[in-house]
A and B are shown apart, each in its own frame.
Chain A
Amino acid sequence: MNAIPCLTIEDVANLDGILGAFLAKAEADLTVVIDRGGNVISQFGDMTVMDVTIIAALAAGSFAATKELARRIGEVEFNALYHQGNGNHIFMNSVDDDTIMITVFGRRTTVGLVRFYSSSTAQKVAELLKALSSGGHGFSFDASDVTATPVFADQ
């Protein structure tokens, strides 16, 4: 049996608290915490801005791709990436070795403000996730809970 690491309702509430405070201070629209494989761990803010799942996959790819670029100039990786648009922008920063934080923001704020508050937020998120992994609670389910019918149907 293999257990899947899980975020309890309490963990999610704590994460939401950290991310909500960050959005309010930085005046950004949306922030998403993802693992480096592209999976969404937590998200907070205006979900209508974008398809979070796709942005997570692309952001993880983008972050990983620039790692090689960073190595060429003697860095292990870039700690943060900024994609500037005409009205909407994306700022990504490293939380820990396994996690990245993405922030989407518009004209209401500036990249400086987002960068400033994202740094301390990333630290708090990292501490919470570290406690989570050392806590070691995992989840597994009964085989009878899994559907016996094909998962996906060809229509």
Chain B
Amino acid sequence: MSIINYASREIQFKIVYYGPALCGKTTNLAYIHQRINPENRGDLVSLATAADRTLFFDFLPLNAVVIKGFVTKFQLYTVPGQVIYNATRQLVLRSVDGVIFVADSQWEKMEENVESFKNLEDNLAKQNISIDEIPYVLQYNKRDLDNIAPVNYLEYVLNNRKRRVQSFEVISSTGQNVFASLNAVSQILLHKFSKQSDVPKTPPAPVVIPVEPPARQKQNASV
């Protein structure tokens, strides 16, 4: 948790993009960096390997005036998605205020999505943060590909919890819903610290369990 500086009237929030390897976390940040007003952003810093895989993190600072009288600084980070970099993910999650979980919609990535979400829960728990308390939203990315699971299946797998959260169908390469998901988590985060934290919000629709069994759908999709 950051500190409010009354002298400079600044508040800082840290938002982390989390998800399995190659799900599109860095693409999200690159799109935001490319499209947002340059006056409201700093440089995009990527600590990546020669093959453009995130080694440590990507970082993008953004400024906004969203709370009357204060400059609000949002610091966007991505984590390295590869399984072996768990220690790094724990470091990046330190002092996190909000999370955008990026799931890869492709059928063959479903297991990795579930593992990564569980890993997020575990790593937050190590900081004494419960996934049920931290502001987060879900992105179902790569909706433009052919071999993708339907949204209700992704909801069933990743959003079938006591606290249902907002989810977005995203194509991070073209920017579809990239800003919508960032704005959603920002609003949840801001209202968490407001005096009336019981802000009315639209309850998500109940999860519809897919009629066809996933295994069969997967086989069909791979034909």
Which residues of A does B touch, CB under 8 Å?
1-9, 11-13, 35-42, 51, 53-54, 57-58, 60-61, 64-65, 68, 139-143, 145-147, 150-155
Interface on chain A toward B: helix, strand, loop, or mixed SS? Answer: mixed
- Using A37-B95, A140-B195, A143-B195 as known contacts, list a sample of 4 further A-B pairs with CB atoms less than 8 Å apart, ordered by residue number in A: A12-B7, A37-B94, A42-B5, A145-B69
A35-B95, A39-B95, A142-B195 known; A152+B32 contact, CB < 8 A: yes
With a cutoff of 8 Å between Cβ atoms, the chain A residues found around residue B175 in the complex are 154
Contact of B193 among A4, A8, A9 (CB under 8 A): A4
Known: A4-B1, A38-B14. A54 touches B6 (CB 8 A): no
User: B57: CB under 8 A from chain A?
Assistant: yes
Q: Please determine whether A54 and B61 come into contact, CB atoms closer than 8 angstroms.
A: yes
**Whole-angstrom distance from the CB of B74 to the nearest CB of chain A?**
8
Contact assessment for A151 and B7 in the assembled complex, using a CB-CB cutoff below 8 Å: no
- Give residues 84-119 of B contacting A (CB, 8 Å): 87-88, 91-92, 94-96
Is A7 a contact of B7 with CB atoms below 8 Å? yes
B38-60 with Cβ < 8 A to chain A: 40, 42-43, 45, 47, 56-57, 59
What is the CB-to-nearest-CB distance from A150 to chain B, in angstroms, rounded to a whole number?
4
Count of chain B residues with a beta carbon within 8 Å of a chain A beta carbon? 61
Instruction: Determine if B62 is an interface residue (Cβ-Cβ < 8 Å).
Output: yes
* Beta-carbon contact of B194 and A143 below 8 Å: yes
**Chain B nearest Cβ from A143, distance in angstroms:** 4
**A59 to chain B: closest CB distance in Å?**
12
Mark the stretch among B19-27, B184-192, B204-212 that contacts chain A. B184-192
B162 within 8 A of A: no
Bound together, the chains give a CA A147 to CA B7 distance in angstroms of 22
